[in-house]
Amino acid sequence: MAIDGDLEGAIAAHLAAGEMTAAATAALRGMGPQILGFLSMTLRDDGAADDVFGHFSEELWKSIATFRGDSSFKTWTYKLAMHAVSRYRRDGFRRRGQPLATAEVSAIAEQIRSQTAPFRRTEVKDRIARLRDTLDPDDQTLLFLRIDQALPWNDVAAVISARGEAVDVAALRKRFERAKARLRKLAEAEGLLGD
């Protein structure tokens, strides 16, 4: 799902005008549900996803003024989300339960959580999601970014390399094809694909 051009323009206009609070609010309201879905898929724990989403929201709020436009805004937000996941995995116990720095960020994050919480799923989507869960977490992230979010390959590489390791786009494409093939094989075995 591509970021809405109007949202991208509104964020850019707020940033150009020096309206950081308005830019962060627009970004969280516009991108928040996608990011929360990404965190839920990545962490496979709604409580952890909520916690990491809160930290992501705070980081976006604090660092939006540093967005230089070197990548798309969507890619930049996913990089922030990957950093939040990495920090959570490195030191999750210490960071859990810390309140967000501002009430405004906290209120927006809670609103997004409550609106996004009841994910609408069909039985087939649930079965595919369970099959995806059997894949390596990195493969799940790769499929999510490329298929669900339709990020270009360079952006997928930028998000994945946010963990600190350099990622080759050609190698990423090969890994993507292998992950798709494994998922397809699992779906065929479950009878989810037609003849």
Measured distance CA(175)–CA(183) in Å, rounded: 12
Burial class (CB in 10 A: 0-12, 13-18, 19+), 141: buried
Q: Which amino acid is at 149?
A: Q
pLDDT of residue 117: 41
| Average pLDDT, 10 consecutive residues per value, the chain (195 residues) | 73 92 91 88 84 91 89 88 88 54 67 54 68 85 85 88 81 92 86 67
Look at residue 173 in the predicted model and tell me its pLDDT.
93
> What is the structure's pLDDT at 120?
41
- CATH 1.10.10.10 boundaries in the chain: 120-195
Query: How wide is the angle at C-alpha 186 spanned by C-alphas 158 and 174, nearest 5°?
Result: 30
Packing angle of the helix pair 169-189, 123-133 (nearest 10 deg) = 120
Name the pTM for this structure: 0.66
Q: Alpha-carbon distance 43 to 88, whole Å? A: 10
Which residue, chain included where needed, has tokens 């999510």?
Answer: 144
CA nearest neighbour of 84 among 71, 70, 98, 72? 98
Q: What is the pLDDT of residues 2-37, one digit of tens each?
A: 467 788 889 989 999 999 999 999 999 998 888 998
Alpha-carbon distance values, 42 to 24, 36, 128, 159, 178 (Å): 23, 10, 15, 13, 19
What is the pLDDT at residue 40?
A: 86
Q: Coil, helix or strand for 98?
A: coil
- From the number of C-beta atoms within 10 Å of its C-beta (0-12, 13-18, 19+), residue 43 rates as buried
Tell me if the domain spanning 120-195 has CATH number 1.10.10.10: yes
Please, what is the end-to-end C-alpha distance for the chain in angstroms? Answer: 28
Q: Residue 119's pLDDT is what? A: 42
